[in-house]
Amino acid sequence: MKMIQIILFFLALISYTSNAIDSDDFCVADLSFPDTPSGYPCKSENNVTADDFVFSGLNIAANTSTNSFKVAFTTVKVDKIPGLNGLGISVARIDLGFNGSVPMHTHPGVGEFIIVIQGQMTAGFITPKKVFMKTLNPGDVWVFPTGLLHFILNTGPGNAVAYSAYASSNFNTHLTDFLLFGNNLSTSTVQKTTFVDPAQIMKLKVNFGGSG
Ligand SMILES: *[C@@H]1O[C@H](CO)[C@@H](O)[C@H](O)[C@H]1NC(C)=O
Ligand SMILES: *[C@@H]1O[C@H](CO)[C@@H](O)[C@H](O)[C@H]1NC(C)=O
Ligand SMILES: *[C@@H]1O[C@H](CO)[C@@H](O)[C@H](O)[C@H]1NC(C)=O
Ligand SMILES: *[C@@H]1O[C@H](CO)[C@@H](O)[C@H](O)[C@H]1NC(C)=O
């Protein structure tokens, strides 16, 4: 009888400790597995360290001379901070060279805001009824509603910098220029669906790496 009580006591203790180890406080991504629609599987809390919650370097300006839009993104998603897994948030730094722009794009299903840190930007988004745009200066925060097409222009006299935040830990970006002109969708299909002149389509395909 006494032996059974001792065994039950230890079983209860083991169950209590394993619950304490598999805490629900967080689910840090195990990046050795593929991402899924509900995020990465959690790594064992024994293997989680403070480094899983940190990224350094968003103070560093990225090179904006590598593309004709003169834009550079330093994006910090769950692949950079495994602790973002399941939190539905992430962050980026946007550097815009003089006269640069973030071309028209959407993040399907994901809202975003930007905080301007340096220079002057004009940010906007488009609905079927209206264009919403605003000139922004350091300290200004601007919101891009979930899923809408949006853009940013550097309208200041020098470089511009913003930090952006996203309502997803692993969002996608669909750039309209590349969707239309950066793949092998045939020129005649692009023409039929946009009424853009075929010569102009072929010129844009060269610009954005498309063919056909
Ligand atoms: C977690 O750590 C243990 C040892 O501490 C190790 O055997 C195991 O492979 C690690 N798991 C992962 C997913 O890294
Ligand atoms: C920025 O990128 C351009 C084009 O690739 C390159 O020529 C230039 O050296 C780079 N600048 C720096 C500071 O890395
Ligand atoms: C700004 O960029 C646009 C589009 O690339 C270009 O047509 C224009 O000449 C540029 N303006 C200046 C001042 O560089
Ligand atoms: C486009 O490229 C894909 C492979 O990336 C190929 O399977 C497809 O047949 C191509 N379509 C056309 C219209 O060339």
Closest-lying ligand 4 atom to the alpha carbon of residue 184: 1
* Sites in the chain below the pLDDT cut of 50: 7, 11-21
Count of positions (residues) in the chain: 212
Provide the annotated binding site. Answer: 105, 107, 112, 150
Ligand 1 — pocket residues by CB below 6 A? 30, 43-44, 46-47
- Angle, alpha carbons 169-101-62 (nearest 5°): 60
Ligand 3: distance of its center to the CA of 136 in Å?
20
Q: What is the pLDDT of residue 22?
A: 54
Ligand 1: distance of its center to the CA of 47 in Å?
6
Question: Edge-to-edge, what's the strand order for the sheet holding 90-96?
Answer: 71-76, 90-96, 160-166, 112-118, 141-144
Which CATH number does 2-172 carry?
Answer: 2.60.120.10
Ligand 1: distance of its center to the CA of 21 in Å?
14
Q: What is the pLDDT of residue 38?
A: 87
| Helix, strand, coil percent content, the chain, rounded in steps of 5 | 25, 30, 45
Query: Phi/psi zone of residue 124: left (φ > 0), alpha (ψ -120 to 50 degrees), beta?
Result: beta
* Reported pTM: 0.85
Q: What is the pLDDT of residue 175?
A: 97
Q: What is the pLDDT of residue 24?
A: 79
- pLDDT tens-digit series, residues 178-193: 999 999 999 999 999 9
Is-contact 179 108, C-beta < 8 A? no
Residue 188: half-sphere exposure toward Cβ, Cα within 13 Å: 0
